[in-house]
Amino acid sequence: MSLDALIPSAIDGLMLGFVYGLAAMGLTLIFGVMKVINLSHGPVIALGMFTVLVLSQTFGLNPYLGLVAALFLGLLLGVVIYFVAVDRVINAPELTTLLATFSVNLMIIGMGTVIFTTSPRAVDIDLGALRGGGITILGTHAVSVAIAIAVAAALYAFLFRTRLGKSIRAVANNRAAAELMGIDSRRMLALSFGIGTALAMTSGALLSTLFSFTILSGTTYEVKSFVIVVLGGLGNPTGALVGGIVLGLLEGVATVFIPVSWVPVLEYVIFVLILLVRPSGLLGSRA
């Protein structure tokens, strides 16, 4: 083990953890509000990647402007998915909503494979790097962290400072009581699903500036999101962000000690241990 290798890997993993956390926030927000496990999360992340790619290659749009487009497209797509696949089964047993979102998963991957194939793609972007003391921080990584923090802060401001955000939290806490207070719970559920999808597409857009990807890449990040959500606490956006940072840091440090191919195994071991020892996660649930 070398300290020269440990510190850069830890910093790299820590920075990546913010993007992981952003992806997981979308998943946990949807679960926290409507108790739906969204299995279309991974393909939606991949759609965020391809949104940036298509806008960049076809229209010459800066990838970070493409990210804004991915955010709003995700919001719209999420609302559509909710009304098409989730709304009619929202009160059905959890297995039904699970299968409904899984069907959306299969449709997105199927159509994405036809349109984009499974060949690896990459967004052409270079922001340089900061170097010092044997540590290199890529500009794309630094910008991704800044954007992830800004989006997470905006989400909290929306949920805790706006009327719509407070209505979403009221529906999450007690849907029947919220309806008695005049809140349109159906509209709030659709908006929540849209926001969760927008977060997933935004994280995918950020990941497209960091790594190459295919239409199937979202599955990897979906599984990481589940680990993070369990780690941070189901239904807790703050826990998801913290869990993402912890997982990213763990990935960065682990690669110094073990082969990269063993890192997912380590993550799943942690996943199982958290479920057995502290099923509520590190921070528990919070509406």
pLDDT in tens, 165-177: 999 999 999 999 9
Q: What share of the chain is helix, strand, coil (3-state, %, to 5)?
A: 75, 5, 20
Alpha-carbon distance of 46 to 164, in angstroms, equals: 28
What contacts 24+ positions apart, CB below 8 Å, involve 173-179?
173/287
In the predicted model, residues of the chain with pLDDT beneath 50 are 286-287
CB 222 within 8 A of CB 20: no
Q: What angle do CA 130, 135, 137 make, to 5 degrees?
A: 40
pLDDT reported for residue 287: 44
pLDDT reported for residue 151: 93
Q: What is the largest CA-CA distance in the chain?
A: 61
- Tokens standing for residue 231: 């780690």
Dihedral sign for Cα 147, 150, 152, 158, please.
negative
pLDDT reported for residue 284: 60
CB 5 within 8 A of CB 256: yes
Q: Crossing angle, helix 139-161 and helix 237-257, to 10 degrees?
A: 160
pLDDT reported for residue 127: 86
Please list the alpha-helical segments (H only) found in 35-124: 41-59, 63-81, 94-116
Alpha-carbon distance of 235 to 239, in angstroms, equals: 8
β partners of residue 137: 130
Alpha-carbon distance of 83 to 88, in angstroms, equals: 8
78 Cα distance to chain centroid: 13
Q: In angstroms, what CA-CA distances link 220 with 46, 176, 215?
A: 10, 37, 11
pLDDT reported for residue 7: 83
Backbone torsion region of residue 281, taken as left when φ is above 0, otherwise alpha when ψ lies between -120 and 50, otherwise beta: left
SS3 at position 134: coil
- Tokens standing for residue 165: 């955000």
End-to-end CA distance of the chain: 42
Alpha-carbon distance of 279 to 277, in angstroms, equals: 6
- Across the chain, mean pLDDT equals 89
